[in-house]
Structure 1
Amino acid sequence: MNQQEINCTLEAAKTLNFNRAAENLYLSQPTLSHHIKNLETELGFQIFNRNGRSISLTDAGKQFCQGLREIDADLKRLIEQCQNFSNSYQESIRISLFTRSAIKKLPQAMQIFSHQASAVYVEPVFDQSVNRLDHFLAGQSDILLVRNQEIKNMRQLVAYPLYETVVKLVVKRNDPLAKLTTVTPADLSGRTLLVGGGSSRELRALQDEVTRNQDIKTLISHDHATTLTRIAAGQAVCLSPDLYQDDDPHFAWLNFQPTIRMPYYLVVKKGASQRVIDFIQILRRLYQPET
């Protein structure tokens, strides 16, 4: 399987038209068909059903193209990373986090570290999957940002405290609640609260407490982006750790009582390199000047 065969197959799967796929790739239609046929022969199964001028994906083809698309994207990303690395660097440090705002001072830390270790390439890895810890353990990153509960009883890991995130109430900027200095559960009476979406144990407990004792409706939201969209639409409000707070002017992040704090840690495997530890200490000093 070569890159040309991959490109032809994925483009045909997207357009479901050999002629259009060939035009998009600046190839002749016979050339594109030849590449796809070669790949099907190599694989031992048909990717496309051909019925005159129309084509469709076979069941095997659907599954294959879905996986191939992910592999192709990963391969291109890997090539770009290695090109960056080989051009200027001798060593790399990969730090895994689930959203850019989770470590707002990361760019500052990278800049400081570049003056101390100019040959070391620091690469943020944004992983929002439920398998973040497994990916880290498999060696896909050197540093992992986690809550303490995620790594309890894992003796092969070393955890460095970074900061505590505070749960706040997120509302639309023009919501009447935005005028309050601090919001309490009683202030949410008659409102709709977004819940779910992979909330931590502490946050779920707070959501349950608030909705149990007040006249508050709930609406399940499966991820933070959906939550913000519903808030912007005026459908609901939500309780969220302030590590997600960014500079979006459409939302107000309000203090909420009772106050819930959740510690976050930078985690490495035992035996991590001194360069990795040095970078962690820079981050910790930025968040904890007394460190």
Structure 2
Amino acid sequence: MDLRQLRCFIAVAETLHFGQAAQALDMLPASLGRHIKMLEESLGCRLLNRTTRNVSLTDAGSRFVGPAREIIKRTNDLEAMFRQTRTDTASVLRVGAIDSAAAGLMPRLLSHFRESHPEIDIQLLEQKTIRLLPQLLSGRLDIAIVRPPAALDPRLASRHLFFETAVVAIPDGHPLAARATVSVGDMADQPLIVPDRKSRPHSHDLTMKLFAEAGLTARVAQIAEEKQTIVNLVSSGVGLAIVPRWTARLAVGGVTYVPLDVPAGSARNKLALSAVWLRDTRVPARDAFLAELDKHMEELETSA
């Protein structure tokens, strides 16, 4: 039995879903399953009941999860105590951001931050959520602006910021490009370009869920990963794409961005942004960054 196995078991116990637990831990479901199996073999009993549809705790699992959480909490507290190498006079803040935040939020926020705190240098890393969260846990980042994961590691703290505005990228000359707004129903028979779910689950699920909530099936013509690629495919006439409003700043010719008429509902939450950082650590520069976020939140949300 080791700490990795305990963390895997706790993640599954909290989500009762191997896929969500694996995503939260940035690992493959098969690898997660192996860690759980090794833990059960070392204890000599089953901790989880698994079927093709459901996951549940056994009686042994229910008794084991509490003490396991306590072991992990004590380990985390010990790590935090000895990993705290920052001082009150730290002059470098390491910030991670997904592409939406790096292009849409950070330019304005950094302008304000540098004006208020010229003594603090910012190191900015742009990456996907699944790559940024492990770097927070390892101490390589102080804070990250990400899509909130389905299950957040208990070692991390988070704060919801706002929801980004969704627009539809449409080829110039397309009949929908002249509209003031576009609804999901307007796109019912249109070919769509959607992000790869493995690397961009939130953006992928936004499109699919909007269509599902409207009682429609998305007509996916092309899967792509990067926003730049998606917009270039729109420009070439491959299809339409639902994207965050900041994507218009990519300056790709031949594309019109029309506001998406999003009905009130859960699908809109897929474009949420959150600030995430390592719990129980004291980083004055990070606190100053969060304060600047709060101070200018209304302006930042309006421009998102």
TM-score range, shorter chain: 0.5 to 0.7
Identical aligned residues as a percent: 14
Shift in Å at residue 214 of structure 1?
5.9
* Residue 56 of structure 1: aligned partner: none
* Residue 187 of structure 2: aligned partner: 188
Q: Is structure 2 residue 140 aligned with structure 1 residue 140?
A: yes
SS in 1 for 2:249: coil
Letter in 1 for 2:195: G
In 2, distance between residues paired with 1:155 and 1:99?
A: 25
Q: Deviations over 1:187-207 (max 9, x none)?
A: 224421112322416415326
Q: TM-score, normalised by structure 2?
A: 0.57
* Residue 175 of structure 2: aligned partner: 176
In 2, distance between residues paired with 1:161 and 1:273?
A: 19
Q: Is structure 2 residue 295 aligned with structure 1 residue 282?
A: no
In 1, distance between residues paired with 2:172 and 2:298?
A: 31
> Which of the pair has the greater relative contact order for Cα pairs under 8 Å at 6+ separation?
2
* Residue 76 of structure 1: aligned partner: none
SS in 2 for 1:124: strand
In 1, distance between residues paired with 2:113 and 2:273?
A: 21
Shift in Å at residue 164 of structure 1?
0.8
In 2, distance between residues paired with 1:153 and 1:118?
A: 33
* Residue 8 of structure 2: aligned partner: none
Shift in Å at residue 243 of structure 1?
4.6
Gap regions ≥5 residues in structure 2: 1-88
Shift in Å at residue 120 of structure 1?
1.4
Q: Deviations over 1:231-289 (max 9, x none)?
A: 01011111123354426263322222334243211111122412211112212322236
Contact 2:167 2:245 in 1 (8 A): yes
CA 1:215/1:285 → structure 2, altered by over 3 Å: closer, same or farther?
closer
- Select the residue among 242, 245, 249 that pairs with 1:246: 249
Q: Is structure 2 residue 267 aligned with structure 1 residue 268?
A: no
* Residue 236 of structure 2: aligned partner: 233
CA 1:175/1:253 → structure 2, altered by over 3 Å: closer, same or farther?
same
SS in 1 for 2:154: coil
More strand by share: 1
Measured on the aligned residues, the alpha-carbon RMSD in Å equals 3.2
Contact 2:92 2:120 in 1 (8 A): yes
Contact 2:146 2:276 in 1 (8 A): yes
* Residue 157 of structure 1: aligned partner: 156
Contact 2:235 2:252 in 1 (8 A): no
Q: TM-score, normalised by structure 1?
A: 0.59
Letter in 1 for 2:138: A
Q: Deviations over 1:117-141 (max 9, x none)?
A: 3321112111247422112222221
CA 1:116/1:185 → structure 2, altered by over 3 Å: closer, same or farther?
closer
Structure number with greater Rg is 1
Shift in Å at residue 103 of structure 1?
5.2
In 1, distance between residues paired with 2:118 and 2:92?
A: 11
In 1, distance between residues paired with 2:115 and 2:262?
A: 43
Gap regions ≥5 residues in structure 1: 1-88
Contact 2:109 2:300 in 1 (8 A): no
Letter in 1 for 2:286: V
Q: How many residues are treated as equivalent by the alignment?
A: 202
